[in-house]
Amino acid sequence: MKHVIQQAIQTLKQGGIVIFPTDTAFGIGCRIDDKNAVDRLFRIRKRPVTQATPVLVVSIAMALPYLDSPSDIVRHFMKTYWPGALTIITPCHKDLIYSPIRGGGETVGIRMPDHSDILHVIHEVGVPVLGPSANIHGENTPFRFEDLDPALSLLVDFVMPGVCKEKRASTVVDCSVDPYIVIRQGAVKIGRPDVILKIDSSHIKQTVVSIITDKAVFEKKIVSQFHTSQQVLPMIESLLSEHNLTLTDVASIEVASGPGSFTGLRVGVAIANALGLLLDIPVNGKKTPVVSLQYGESDRWNG
């Protein structure tokens, strides 16, 4: 394996293009400072030069010189989630990053993968390495070595075997705006710790959905003879949208689990449990086991 890693290092140093494993998926890349190699990479992948491509670094120290006044949240994400499956979009020094890499814009998507082999390679190359997924633009992402497109492999200078432990795309968070936006929810869960979603469908004819932040409480209420997911889910979506939030911003859920209307409680708890599992966030303070209906308890928010 040492010979394979050395071959990848030498190929990249000499301006070549390499396919390599990362923690998330197989990537394809070249050194950041070789414009000819970058142009060739875009041609091989058939990717429009107006669409940016991610950059991989070996450390925060390697990333910082390319970034333009990184914000506190950028630094927080780096310290908290790197190495790991989080790509951070942030303003960059355009004179240091070739235009196609940033899609002609003023930001760069940058990540430190949690994979010892590619980290060693980047360290020895001495500069960041481009790291889009190893596929033709628009085709399936290869999470295993056997998923690689043989035709693409023939177009590069070296293919480095290995295993991707996550086998999921990275999470992409745009920190060039305030508040930040989660562009893609992937292997790393990003949420706002101050956002709590509450669901109360315990009343026989009323459903209440609330969002609690560190600044305010927002509420939406509906009165109906029936409790259904077709009513509650649109309420949640509408309330979040009204306050420039999405489900990925929710850090935890609280749901009324009893006593109350059995039908109403069942709908509320089912939705809360489903969202909790989908978003990988706690419901009534617990991830597992999921919340069940309670009978005869005075605290409706007790899980």
Contacts 24+ apart (CB under 8 A), 105-108: 105/52, 106/68, 106/176, 107/52, 107/174, 107/176, 108/52, 108/55, 108/66, 108/67
Residue 144: which pLDDT band, with cuts at 50, 70 and 90? very high
- Quote the CA–CA distance of 185 and 4 in Å, as a whole number: 33
Q: Which residues contact 303 (CB under 8 A, 6 or more apart)?
A: 255, 257, 283, 284, 285, 286, 291
Q: Among the CATH numbers 1.10.150.130, 1.10.3480.10, 3.20.20.70, 3.30.420.40, which is that of 196-279?
A: 3.30.420.40
Least reliable range by pLDDT among 4-8, 59-63, 111-115, 233-237: 233-237
Query: How many alpha carbons lie under 13 Å from residue 129 in its C-beta half-sphere?
Result: 32
- Quote the CA–CA distance of 275 and 70 in Å, as a whole number: 33
- Quote the CA–CA distance of 19 and 11 in Å, as a whole number: 11
Please give the angle made by the CA atoms of 86, 89 and 90, to the nearest 5 degrees: 130
Q: How far is CA 146 from the centre of its chain?
A: 25
Q: What are the pLDDT digits (tens) for 67-120?
A: 999 999 899 899 989 999 999 999 999 999 999 999 999 999 999 999 999 999
Q: Note whether 2-184 and 196-279 share their fold.
A: no
265, 271, 272, 274 alpha-carbon torsion, rounded to 10°: 140
Query: Which contiguous run of DSSP H or E holds residue 1?
Result: none
The full length of the chain comes to: 303
- Quote the CA–CA distance of 44 and 140 in Å, as a whole number: 15
Q: Which residues contact 126 (CB under 8 A, 6 or more apart)?
A: none
Q: What are the pLDDT digits (tens) for 218-243?
A: 999 888 766 566 788 899 999 998 88
Least reliable range by pLDDT among 26-35, 49-58, 229-238: 229-238
In the chain, the percentage of residues whose pLDDT exceeds 90 is 63
- Quote the CA–CA distance of 59 and 123 in Å, as a whole number: 9
253: left (phi over 0), alpha (psi -120 to 50) or beta: beta
Output the pLDDT for position 191: 64
Please give the angle made by the CA atoms of 68, 69 and 74, to the nearest 5 degrees: 100
- Report, as an integer, the average pLDDT of 214-220: 84
The residue among 105, 129, 16 whose CA lies nearest residue 52 is: 105
**Do 22 and 56 meet the contact criterion of CB atoms below 8 Å apart?**
yes
| Residue with the two structure tokens 């790197």 | 82
Q: Which residue has the higher pLDDT, 2 or 35?
A: 35
For the record, the structure tokens of 257 come out as 């689990």
- Quote the CA–CA distance of 132 and 29 in Å, as a whole number: 7
CB neighbourhood size of 214 (10 A):
9
Q: Which residue has the higher pLDDT, 214 or 105?
A: 105
C-alpha distances out from residue 212 to 167, 236, 257, Å: 34, 13, 19
Q: Among the CATH numbers 3.90.870.10, 3.40.50.720, 3.40.1410.10, 3.30.2350.10, which is that of 2-184?
A: 3.90.870.10
Least reliable range by pLDDT among 71-85, 250-264, 276-290: 276-290
**Do 247 and 275 meet the contact criterion of CB atoms below 8 Å apart?**
yes
The residue among 110, 23, 99 whose CA lies nearest residue 66 is: 110
| Residue with the two structure tokens 């991989």 | 56
Give the start-to-end residue ranges of the domains of the chain.
Answer: 2-184, 196-279
